Amino acid sequence: MSETPKTTSGGGLLDGDRTVPPSSNLRTVLAPDLYAMMPELKEDIQLQPRANESVSFLLARLRSSTTPEEAVTMASYAFQPRISVWWAHECMTTMREHLTPIDHQLLELIGGWAHDPSDSNRRGIYDVALSAPSKTPGVWLGLATGVSGGGRRDEPVDLSTPRAVNAGILSCLARGGLPQRSINLARFITLAQTLVGD
C-alpha cells in the first residue's frame, strides 16, 4: 500500500525524490506572461498588468475598476480552456430563467462534457451550437466548447475559447436586467477568484 503523498511548503507534492508542482486552473500565474501569450488581451482590456503582477491581483484590480466587466474578460483568458468553459457554465446556470430552450439544451450537454470531455461529446456540442439560429449565451458557450479541443476546418478563424466564453457570459449578464446586473457580475467574478486562488 502506498503512502499518502506529502506536500511541500510551495504546495507541490513530494513524490519520492521529485517535486510535482500543484495543478493549476490558469494558463500562467503572472499576468504579464498571460498578455505576452495572448496579445489579443490588449485589445479587450484597457487596464494593463504591472510588472510581476499575478493574475489574481489583476483580477482584483479589474473588479474594483470603473469597468468591472473586464474582470470577466480577464478570467475568460486566464483559465485553461476546459476550466473557462466550466466556469461560464456555472455562471450561466445561476441565470437559467433568462435563457432560451437551446441554451438549456447546450448547458445540459456542456455539463455532461465536463464529466466526460471526449472529442465526440465536444463535437456534438459544437454541431448543436453551429446550427442554432442566433448566438445566445448558451450558443456562445457551445462554440467555446467546440473550439476548446484544437479546432475544426468549419469554425470561424477568429473564434477562440476565451472570446466565445467572454461573449457568452457578458450576453448572459445583459439578459438579467440592469437592477440585477451588479449582483450577477459580482457572483461571476467571485467564482472566478475562487478558481484562481492566491
Is there a contact between 192 and 71 (Cβ–Cβ < 8 Å)? yes
pLDDT at residue number 149: 81
**Global pTM?**
0.85
Is there a contact between 74 and 196 (Cβ–Cβ < 8 Å)? no
What lies within 8 Å, CB to CB, of 58 at 6+ separation is 31, 47, 49, 50, 74
Profile the chain (198 residues) by mean pLDDT over runs of 10 residues: 37 37 79 95 94 96 97 97 96 97 98 93 96 97 90 60 97 94 97 90
pLDDT at residue number 11: 38
47 vs 30: CA distance, rounded Å: 15
pLDDT at residue number 24: 87
**Secondary structure (3-state) at 34:** helix
